[in-house]
Amino acid sequence: MVSIEAEQILSTMALYILPFARLSGFLMTLSVIGSRNIPARFRMLLALSITYLVAPVIPAYETVPLFGLQSFLLVIEQTLIGVVLGFVSRLMLETFVVGAQVVAMQSGLGFASLVDPANGNSVPALGQFFLMLTTLLFISVDGHLVMIRLVVESFTSFPIGSSQNIAEMFFQLVSWARWIFAAALIMALVSIASLLIVNISFGVMTRAAPQINVFAVGFPLTMVTGLILVWLTLAFFLPHFERQLTRASSLICDMIQLQC
């Protein structure tokens, strides 16, 4: 009869709990998988499945008592690492939402708003359209699989219990957040300039013929111009997405000190 002692069970659990903490934190903030539309049980089962496959092949690390202060701090540390790595993909998708909201507010399309099921806030419909388009592209190019592969490889380049500075990862994330506004502005720059020219033209018309009702004529024309500009912007949407996805992957590689 085979007997299993409690120490063996605790030591085995200690080998899986730390990789599970990093993976669960990563899936909690990963785009698409970490949204409110995905049940928490599914994310937990997915994290358990990946942990079961990854834990036996990751580099060995010094095990600590499962119930103790050091183990508790390591779990928090690994969870924060996973949260930061997954949050990069969330920021990448929000870039296009910000760009769409800028165009919507400038063209008057911002009046058409709806409730975002992921955040629970009222946002312009154009922003939700760009978010759905970006999400479909992210899934179609296997962006979620690329992110999962990077976090799995992080156990080799950024092993558990290493003395690397985790605060630097947060600083890199905050510094990279400027690309949200830079890339969104680049994407919406043509639309902003075109709508500015339209508004200046209406100002000249109002000055030349004050009897013209600029609100009755200008507002519908501005919205139609905005729709045409959005249609033209879609032709260059894929290159913007590819560049932003490359930047996000490079940031994760820099965080985990991995040569990509």
DSSP string, 184-225: HHHHHHHHHHHHHHHHHHHHHHHHH-TTS-HHHHHHHHHHHH
Reading the block at residue 160, the tokens are 């558990």
Q: Are 74 and 160 in contact (CB under 8 A)?
A: yes
Mean pLDDT of the residues in the chain: 79
What interhelical angle do 214-233 and 178-208 show, nearest 10?
140
pLDDT exceeds 70 at position 120: no
pLDDT exceeds 80 at position 134: yes
Q: What is the mean pLDDT of residues 122-137?
A: 80
Site of tokens 């994760």: 252
Q: What is the pLDDT of residues 161-185, one digit of tens each?
A: 765 667 778 888 888 888 788 888 8
Residue 245 banded pLDDT, cuts 50, 70, 90: confident
From the CB of residue 213, how many other CB atoms can be counted at a distance below 10 Å? 9
> Percentage helix, strand, coil, to 5, in the chain?
75, 0, 20
From the CB of residue 233, how many other CB atoms can be counted at a distance below 10 Å? 18
Stronger pLDDT, 216 or 48, i.e. the higher one:
48
The predicted structure's pLDDT at residue 3: 54
Report the share of the chain in percent with pLDDT over 70: 81
DSSP state of 177: T
The predicted structure's pLDDT at residue 7: 63
pLDDT exceeds 70 at position 89: yes
From the CB of residue 228, how many other CB atoms can be counted at a distance below 10 Å? 13
pLDDT exceeds 60 at position 97: yes
The predicted structure's pLDDT at residue 38: 80
The predicted structure's pLDDT at residue 214: 66
Reading the block at residue 48, the tokens are 């358990």
The predicted structure's pLDDT at residue 242: 86
Q: What is the pLDDT of residues 38-74, one digit of tens each?
A: 888 888 888 888 888 887 877 776 666 667 777 788 8
The predicted structure's pLDDT at residue 4: 57
Q: Are 24 and 80 in contact (CB under 8 A)?
A: no
The predicted structure's pLDDT at residue 55: 79
Residue 10 banded pLDDT, cuts 50, 70, 90: low
Q: Are 179 and 247 in contact (CB under 8 A)?
A: yes
Q: Are 160 and 61 in contact (CB under 8 A)?
A: yes
The predicted structure's pLDDT at residue 136: 87
